[in-house]
Chains A and B, each alone.
Chain A
Amino acid sequence: MMEHMLPSSYAPPPEGHVSHSRLEKVLRSGRFAITAELNPPDSADPSDVYDAARPLAEVADAINATDASGANCHMSSIGISALLTRAGYSPVYQISCRDRNRIAIQGDVLGAAAMGVSNVLCLTGDGVGVGDQPGAKPVFDFDSLSLLRTIKTMRDSGTFLSGRKITNPPRLFLGAAENPCIPPYEWRPERLAKKVAAGAEFIQTNYIFDIPLFENFMSRVREMGLDKKVFILAGVGPLASARAARWMRSNVPGIHVPDALIDRMEKSSSPGEEGKRICVELIQQIREINGVSGIHVMAYRKEHQVSEIINESGVLSSRSELA
């Protein structure tokens, strides 16, 4: 009886694919992909996850389940991912290296794959100091690259890093993050190349608010031929207010917001609307940059705006349906 509850039987992935992921299919078919981040609940009630997922699912090919991002405690990414697969949604299971060692992570990867997860995003993770429990012990047994290579080995060679055999390997589409708009700018593309070498098949970037910086990054990426080897999804999201933007810039690691944008927010009579408009404009500009395969929307506490933003940007109107 229980076997029939989960959608995926353990079948080989389609020709030319590494997984059953919808996101992988969309990307490999050349369509512009949309992913969106789910704000994890501080609750044990599954309906809180579904309430947050519903508005995102209207437009997203996959929904990211964050792993205690910003080192703050929330429902776990593996729990959220499992709930999402049960309801037929396609999650991106985020794994941060901050909280678990190699024994825990390799086990979780098998567990997640068995629950029907087919995308993972390998992250280093923010330091514990910025979170709500700065006294926690940071683990960082893996880093994002050794984690990528490890999952790739589990999938392609069917072994744990210990050499022990995995009878039925996990079929996972492997992702990593990148942050083009923070130092060392000149080495960010090289670091991306290293992630591709480690096994990354798609990239979701942190927030892009600075188009010229991102264009520089992308032109180097194209020069290195990386856009042909990995699908790049650019991170975007609506700013709530000038104050919130300033707070984010100084308190959340790795976020760069140019002063010009903050000024624009400050001058606007309705900052909420302005933040949305800026986001739509950014998406339209990003869409025109060669080598970008999609966007990743992170709308913190503004899930309800995601489908509006995507529809207004027009990126989906030209997209044909997936067979």
Chain B
Amino acid sequence: MYRIRLFAIRHSRAFEWIYQRVEQVMVALDPVFGKIGYDRIERPVAFTERCIKTVLFDCKMCGQCVLSSTGMSCPMNCPKQLRNGPCGGVRPGGYCEVKPEMKCVWALAWDGASRMKNGAQIETVLPPVERNLEGSSSWLRVSREKAARLREAKEKGRAAVAEAFADARAKEPASAPLAEEPARACGGNK
């Protein structure tokens, strides 16, 4: 799928547009999801999301998708899983330090971002991945988070991450989540 991933980054502008539309739909559906119960739809949505994003982006289902801030190049394909790369070991020609046969995920990311409308979002400092959200649906999280931005944060610990990375919270809210997590979304570490 490496080829398709490179294709998606080359066409980062188009994919950014599609992604924004998907996001708008998900956010608009927040009341509906709330009624059905986020817990109930978590698994089917996560499954669909995994299928689509694995094909397109080699998605690793970290649960905190930040593609719009990384030039549509999934940072979880970086062997060091950096969220703010590139590292200092990129090889001549832009190849990865750890996997020399692969282009550096982050060199591609800056390249992809340069073609995107909101490409400057790559300058946002992103928090570390919450590993316990692995495998859960990021789309649902975005929908919840964008909706929850209007509501106040209740849990203090989560609020601290969101405050420390205020910029990331504003631009990629799923990367510093505040909304309440349904039981099924929170089990990656068990």
Q: How far is the CA of A186 from the CA of B88 in the complex (A)?
A: 14
Answer whether residue A300 sits at the interface, using C-beta atoms and an 8 A cutoff: no
Which residues of B sit under 8 angstroms from A194, Cβ to Cβ? 84, 123, 125
Asked whether A124 lies within 8 Å of B90 as measured between CB atoms, the reply is no
Asked whether A127 lies within 8 Å of B79 as measured between CB atoms, the reply is yes
Answer whether residue A219 sits at the interface, using C-beta atoms and an 8 A cutoff: no
**Interface residues in A, total, Cβ within 8 A:** 45
Which residues of B sit under 8 angstroms from A213, Cβ to Cβ? none
Q: How far is the CA of A37 from the CA of B178 in the complex (A)?
A: 42
| Contacts known (A126-B97, A143-B82, A206-B88); A159 close to B160, Cβ less than 8 A | yes
Chain B: CB-nearest residue to A194? B123
Which residues of B sit under 8 angstroms from A254, Cβ to Cβ? 87-90, 97
Give a binary string over B79-99; 1 marks a CB under 8 Å from any A CB, 0 the rest: 111111111111111100110
Binding site secondary structure of chain B: loop
Q: How far is the CA of A142 from the CA of B128 in the complex (A)?
A: 5
Instruction: For the complex formed, measure the closest distance between the CB of A223 and the CB atoms of chain B, giving whole angstroms.
Output: 16
Q: How far is the CA of A141 from the CA of B89 in the complex (A)?
A: 18
Give a binary string over B150-177; 1 marks a CB under 8 Å from any A CB, 0 the rest: 0000001111110111010000000000
| Contacts known (A127-B98, A184-B111, A253-B88); A149 close to B165, Cβ less than 8 A | yes
Asked whether A146 lies within 8 Å of B84 as measured between CB atoms, the reply is yes
Which residues of A sit under 8 angstroms from B81, Cβ to Cβ? 140, 143
Answer whether residue B104 sits at the interface, using C-beta atoms and an 8 A cutoff: yes
Asked whether B110 lies within 8 Å of A187 as measured between CB atoms, the reply is yes
Which residues of B sit under 8 angstroms from A177, Cβ to Cβ? 88
Instruction: For the complex formed, measure the closest distance between the CB of B111 and the CB atoms of chain A, giving whole angstroms.
Output: 7
Which residues of A in the span 88-107 have a Cβ within 8 Å of any Cβ on B?
Answer: 97-98, 102
Asked whether A145 lies within 8 Å of B84 as measured between CB atoms, the reply is yes
Q: Which of under 10, 10 to 19, 20 to 34, or 35 or more describes the interface residues of B?
A: 35 or more
Which residues of B sit under 8 angstroms from A198, Cβ to Cβ? 84, 125
| Contacts known (A146-B128, A193-B123, A197-B125); A162 close to B88, Cβ less than 8 A | no
Chain A: CB-nearest residue to B110? A187
| Contacts known (A161-B160, A183-B92); A197 close to B80, Cβ less than 8 A | no
Answer whether residue A168 sits at the interface, using C-beta atoms and an 8 A cutoff: no
Contact partner, A146, options B83, B97, B98, B123, Cβ 8 Å: B83
Which residues of B sit under 8 angstroms from A141, Cβ to Cβ? 128, 131
Answer whether residue A153 sits at the interface, using C-beta atoms and an 8 A cutoff: yes
Give a binary string over B118-160; 1 marks a CB under 8 Å from any A CB, 0 the rest: 0000110111100100000000000000000000000011111
Could you say which of B106, B128, B157 has the most chain A C-beta atoms within 10 Å of its C-beta?
A: B128
Instruction: For the complex formed, measure the closest distance between the CB of A312 and the CB atoms of chain B, giving whole angstroms.
Output: 29
Give a binary string over A147-170; 1 marks a CB under 8 Å from any B CB, 0 the rest: 001101100010111111000000
Asked whether A124 lies within 8 Å of B111 as measured between CB atoms, the reply is no
Chain A: CB-nearest residue to B98? A127
Asked whether A183 lies within 8 Å of B104 as measured between CB atoms, the reply is yes
Q: How far is the CA of A145 from the CA of B86 in the complex (A)?
A: 11
Answer whether residue A191 sits at the interface, using C-beta atoms and an 8 A cutoff: yes
Answer whether residue B107 sits at the interface, using C-beta atoms and an 8 A cutoff: yes
Q: How far is the CA of A52 from the CA of B163 in the complex (A)?
A: 42
Which residues of B sit under 8 angstroms from A64, Cβ to Cβ? none
Chain A: CB-nearest residue to B162? A163
Asked whether B128 lies within 8 Å of A163 as measured between CB atoms, the reply is no
Which residues of A sit under 8 angstroms from B128, Cβ to Cβ? 102, 141-143, 146, 150, 161
| Contacts known (A146-B83, A153-B164, A193-B123); A182 close to B157, Cβ less than 8 A | no
**Sample of 26 A–B contacts (CB below 8 Å):** A98-B80, A127-B80, A127-B89, A127-B97, A138-B79, A143-B80, A143-B84, A145-B83, A145-B125, A145-B126, A146-B126, A146-B128, A149-B125, A153-B163, A159-B160, A162-B160, A163-B160, A163-B161, A183-B104, A184-B104, A187-B86, A190-B110, A191-B86, A194-B84, A198-B125, A256-B92
Residues on A facing B (Cβ under 8 Å) = 97-98, 102, 124-127, 129, 138, 140-146, 149-150, 152-153, 157, 159-164, 177-179, 182-184, 186-187, 190-191, 193-194, 197-198, 206, 253-254, 256
